Each structure stands twice: as structure tokens, then as C-alpha cells.
Chain A
Amino acid sequence: MSPIVERLASRPTRVGDWAASRKAPIRLALTLAASASWFLLALVTLRWPDVGDWGRGPELAAGAIFIGVAPIAVRALGGFWPSGAARVRRATPWLLALGVFFSVWQASTAKFAWLPQPFFPPPHAILEVFTDDWAKLLQSVVASIKLELLGFALGACTGFVVGVLLGRSRAFGYWVHPIMRLIGPLPAIAWLPIAFYAFPSSWSASIFLIGLTTGFPVAVLTWSGVASVNSAYYDVARTLGASRAFLIFKVAIPAALPHVFVGLFMGLGASFAVLVTAEMMGVKAGLGFYLQWAQGWAAYANMYAALLVMSLMCTGFISLLFKIRDRVLSYQKADLKW
């Protein structure tokens, strides 16, 4: 063997040895640093007085100490709960980053006001919103979920039916296709003034707008899914004695479902924008309304809290749709984990 080949051959083991011998001390240092960053947050919170009037400072410090103790405790006692310990170990770099982030945030807002006030509230001000205004936040998020679900379900069902009919019926396509081409690409928000006037309530108008936003991509993708079904699938079913209904419900629709889900994802993403806009413009409930209301009172902490809740809600909806898709399309190999 030539020296180069020999060196190349021995390389992986050397890297492996290096990794093994260095890994343990790095892990220990990481654990200690993660703990330290949260103790630092507690220290910054308690050591200096706030420049403004915000509550829940002591509670934040207590929480920070609790989180700071966690990595060390898990390291010491992880043997009793191996799966949990593994999760905490994986999350340690994030714990460190968040601890540092919160400490800097705390110092630059409440303690030294490096960032302009009141636009950047400190973390314990946001914590205060959750502890003191949770009832109103909860009410808002429930209202938003209700509006979104109703509008999305209505739009998705309508879009699905329209898409299937476009794919299977020539007469339906003759009349509906031009209308859809004209109206579909129009942003639903543009309808807002008319919708609020034409519908009995701004709430029903918003359901219509969310449905419209959802329905268009669902209809187009369902249509393309039905249209692109392998014609041999129909031949097979027809030679076996399938009726027209069987061809639609047992062949066309299942074959088109992967496309339908792409449409549902597009519609869901677009519908969030309409939901928040509608709540800000007319509906007197929901997270969008809460945001608007908080802005009116210059309650910036409430705005950040509502934003956080809103993003959790949206990501929750997306996750739920992914779960449903993975279940319905379980025959496929999973290609993307959300």
C-alpha cells in the first residue's frame, strides 16, 4: 500500500477516536454553559432595578433558575429516565442559545434601555401578559381558531368539489373555468370592503373570505390531480365492471389526493393572512383584534404575546394538516417531516 492510501484508510478511525475522546468534555462544558446562561438571566433580572414599571420579574427569575438547574439535574439523575435525558441532551445547545438571548434581551430593555422604549418590552413584561391577561388571550385564540376552522373547512370542501367536477365534467368546466380564471387569482383581501357591506355580519364575511382564499388553490390542485390520473387506472376499473360513481370516488379521488393536499397546504397558508386581516379590520374578536386593540393602547408586551400565540396557532394548524396527510397518504413513503 502506498503511504497516501494507508493514510486515507486509517483516517476514519482517527476521526472516530478524536470524536470519542473529545465528545465527553464538550458535552459537560455545554451542559454547564447552558445552566450558567439561565442563572445569568436570573442574576440580570434580580441584580439591577427595572427602568420602567413591569411586573413578574421575580417569577421570571425563579423560572430561569428552575430551567438552569434542569440540565445539571438531568445529567446527574438521567439514568432514571433515559428517553427524557436524551431529549434534554439534544436540546442543550438550544437551551444555551436561549439563555444567552434572554439575558441580553433583559439587559438591553428593562435594565439599561439600550433598545427604544416602550417598543421593546422585557421578557417578564410578556410573561406578565400571560399570567394576568390569559383569559382574554384564550378567548381571542378560541375565536380565531373557530373562524379559521369554519372558513377553511368551507373553502376546502367547496374547492374540492369544484376541482373534482372541473376534472370530470365538461359542461361544468365550460361555465366555471372562465369564472375561476377571472376571480381565483384576485387576492381575497380585495373583496374585504364589499364583503363587509354585503354580508350580514363581518364574521360571516370573514368566513367567506377565508373560504375563498382556501378554495382557489384547493380547486386548482384537485382539478389538476383528477385530470392527471393515469388513464390506465380507469381502463382497469372499467373492464372490471366499475360504475361511473366508482370511477370518481374509488379511482379519480384517491389518485388525486396527493395533489389535493398540496392545495390544502397552499390554501391554509394563504388563509392565515386573511384571518388576521379580517380580525384587524372588522371582526371584534380573535388574535388579530387583540393585536389591534393592544396597539391602540400602546401595550407592546400584549402585542408580542399575541404574536407568539398566533404563530403557535398557525404552526399547530400546519402540523395538524401534516398529521392528517401522513395518515391518509400512509401508503406513500414519507418525504417531509414538519
Chain B
Amino acid sequence: MVSAASLATDRGVAGASLEIRRLSHEFTFEGAPLPVLSSIDLHVERGEFVALLGPSGCGKSTLLRLVAGLEPPSEGKIFTEGKPILGPHPSRVVVFQDPTLYPWRNVWDNVALGLEARGTLKRRRPRVDETLRLVGLASFAKAYPHQLSGGMAQRVALARALVNDPELLILDEPLGKLDSLTRLTMQGEIVNLWRNAGFTTLLVTHDIEEALLMATRVVVLSERPAVIKADIAIDKPYPRNRGDAELVAKRREILGLLGFEAVW
């Protein structure tokens, strides 16, 4: 079931590799330890697009927070390009399920956030405009978040991440709250951005179809405490067709792994 990681793209690689070794994590819930992740081992090559699939509440998002460096793990180590991750770093940017744009900043200023925080905005103003064009929101630079639709807000959040030229883009169910049509459009857009820029992508989702359409590898997690159940390579060119026989077979396989063989 576990296939070797393979790169399905043939572009120049600017991404970072990721090495997760014997990673365990637990929270304290009402005084008792609550194990969330159990001895996770995962290796991600430079430029790969890995989707993490798993049942709701299995600890996928926790894994992303640890990779982002927002929290230290209880046990185990995470390395990027061979160096341990000890805290957040702008080369690893997270896009959350909620756009979490700052309501007091307009679209342009929201996208410029990272550059401003690191004091490089003065030199890199054109980069902000360029990134806004990339996500198709150049004409909304002056708009405020409350004036945007859900899909537009998530595009701004994506631009806010991409403007920092991340080596590792961490997507925490970024399309989870969007309507299904916007979702389809943005799935294609994110894949194109990844293919053009070459960063490594880690996507958490609970939509099997989304994982199959976008990722080069699908890692299936069990229920809490999460262990890796399967690591499936998707060696298919883009754009992919959701009716493709091989993808349909993989979809059935993953549903089975998650305990839903009856619905198929």
C-alpha cells in the first residue's frame, strides 16, 4: 500500500524537504493527558504536494501547527532541510481554514503583513502588487476584508502567504468553508501556483476527492491518537479528471481505510 514518494512534476525545485521523526504530541484536557499524535514518521521531498487525510479531530491540524513551529512537540523531532524546527519561520507559512485577515487593514496591507513584520516592505512593494495579480485581486487592493466574499478573502490569505516566497506552504483546510464551485476553482488555482513556484506543500483536508485531485501523495491518518495508516502516491499529470478510473479506485481504497467501505 505504501508507495515510494515520487515527484509528478518536472519544474525547478525551490521547496524545502521535511523530515518528521517519531513525533508524538498530547494535550492536557480536564487534567488528564490526551494523546493526539502517536509516533508519526514522515519524509517529504522538496517540491512535493502531500495531502494529509483523516477523520475529523484526528490531529491533522495539530501536526501542521507543530510543523509550522507554533507549538513544540511533546516528543520527537521535525527537521526541514536537515535543520530542526524550533519555532515559526517565514519560510514555512500557514493558510488557515478561516482567512483570519486583519479587519483594520485593507487587502494590500494584509498581503504586505509578512514583509512589514520583517522590515523588508520598502524594498519589496512591487512584490505585493505582483502577488495580488497572481491571485486575481489586483483591483481589490483598497478593499477591506468585510467587503470581500469568502473565496476572495481566502485568496487574499493565500497571497499573504505567497508574498513571502515560502519554501513550505502549509494549508490547513483552506477551502473547507467555501461553496463547492469556488472550491473547485481554487483547487486548480492552488495546484497551478504550486507548480509554477515549486514550494513544498502540506495540505490538511478531509475531502478525499480534493486530496486526489491536488496532491502527489496522500497520507491517510487514523483516528486519535493519529498514526499513519497509508501513504499513497498519486502519479498522475495535471489537470486531473475526477472521473479517472485510477483516481476512482484510489478513492475507494481510501474510503475503505477510513472505515467507509459500505458507502461505495
Chain A interface (Cβ within 8 Å of chain B)? 230, 232-233, 235-243, 246, 250-251, 254-255, 257, 329, 331-333
Residue B264 at the A interface, CB < 8 A? no
Using Cβ atoms and an 8 Å threshold, which residues of chain B touch A242? 117
Q: Is A246 touching B102 in the complex (CB atoms < 8 A)?
A: no
Contact A240 to B96, CB < 8 A, known contacts A233-B102, A333-B146: no
Using Cβ atoms and an 8 Å threshold, which residues of chain B touch A237? 113, 117
Q: Is B100 touching A230 in the complex (CB atoms < 8 A)?
A: yes
In the assembled complex, how far is the CB of residue B149 from the closest CB belonging to chain A, in whole angstroms?
Answer: 16
The CA of A19 and the CA of B214, in the complex, are separated in Å by: 63
Chain B interface (Cβ within 8 Å of chain A)? 68-70, 88-90, 92-94, 96, 98, 100, 102-106, 113-114, 116-118, 144, 146, 160, 164
Q: Which one of B89, B113, B118 contacts A236 once the chains associate, using CB atoms below 8 Å?
A: B113
Using Cβ atoms and an 8 Å threshold, which residues of chain A touch B160? 236, 240
Contact A235 to B144, CB < 8 A, known contacts A241-B88, A241-B114: no
In the assembled complex, how far is the CB of residue B89 from the closest CB belonging to chain A, in whole angstroms?
Answer: 7
Q: Is A240 touching B113 in the complex (CB atoms < 8 A)?
A: yes
In the assembled complex, how far is the CB of residue B118 from the closest CB belonging to chain A, in whole angstroms?
Answer: 5
17 A-B residue pairs with Cβ-Cβ distance under 8 Å, sorted by A, are A230-B100, A232-B98, A235-B100, A237-B113, A238-B88, A239-B68, A239-B88, A239-B90, A239-B92, A240-B117, A240-B118, A240-B164, A241-B114, A250-B116, A254-B102, A257-B104, A332-B146
The CA of A255 and the CA of B114, in the complex, are separated in Å by: 17
Q: Is A233 touching B88 in the complex (CB atoms < 8 A)?
A: no
14 additional A-B residue pairs with CB within 8 Å, beyond A239-B94, A241-B89: A232-B98, A233-B100, A235-B70, A236-B100, A239-B68, A239-B70, A239-B92, A239-B93, A240-B93, A240-B114, A240-B160, A243-B117, A250-B117, A333-B146
Contact A331 to B146, CB < 8 A, known contacts A236-B113, A239-B93, A240-B164: yes
The CA of A228 and the CA of B255, in the complex, are separated in Å by: 40
Using Cβ atoms and an 8 Å threshold, which residues of chain A touch B116? 250
Using Cβ atoms and an 8 Å threshold, which residues of chain A touch B103? 331-332
Using Cβ atoms and an 8 Å threshold, which residues of chain B touch A257? 104
In the assembled complex, how far is the CB of residue B9 from the closest CB belonging to chain A, in whole angstroms?
Answer: 25
Chain B residue nearest in CB terms to A329:
B104
Q: Is B104 touching A331 in the complex (CB atoms < 8 A)?
A: yes
Chain B residue nearest in CB terms to A254:
B104
Using Cβ atoms and an 8 Å threshold, which residues of chain B touch A331? 103-106, 144, 146
Using Cβ atoms and an 8 Å threshold, which residues of chain A touch B164? 240-241
Chain A residue nearest in CB terms to B114:
A240
Using Cβ atoms and an 8 Å threshold, which residues of chain B touch A329? 104
Chain B residue nearest in CB terms to A242:
B117
In the assembled complex, how far is the CB of residue B148 from the closest CB belonging to chain A, in whole angstroms?
Answer: 12
Using Cβ atoms and an 8 Å threshold, which residues of chain A touch B146? 331-333
In the assembled complex, how far is the CB of residue B153 from the closest CB belonging to chain A, in whole angstroms?
Answer: 13
Q: Is B104 touching A236 in the complex (CB atoms < 8 A)?
A: no
In the assembled complex, how far is the CB of residue A270 from the closest CB belonging to chain B, in whole angstroms?
Answer: 27
The CA of A94 and the CA of B69, in the complex, are separated in Å by: 65
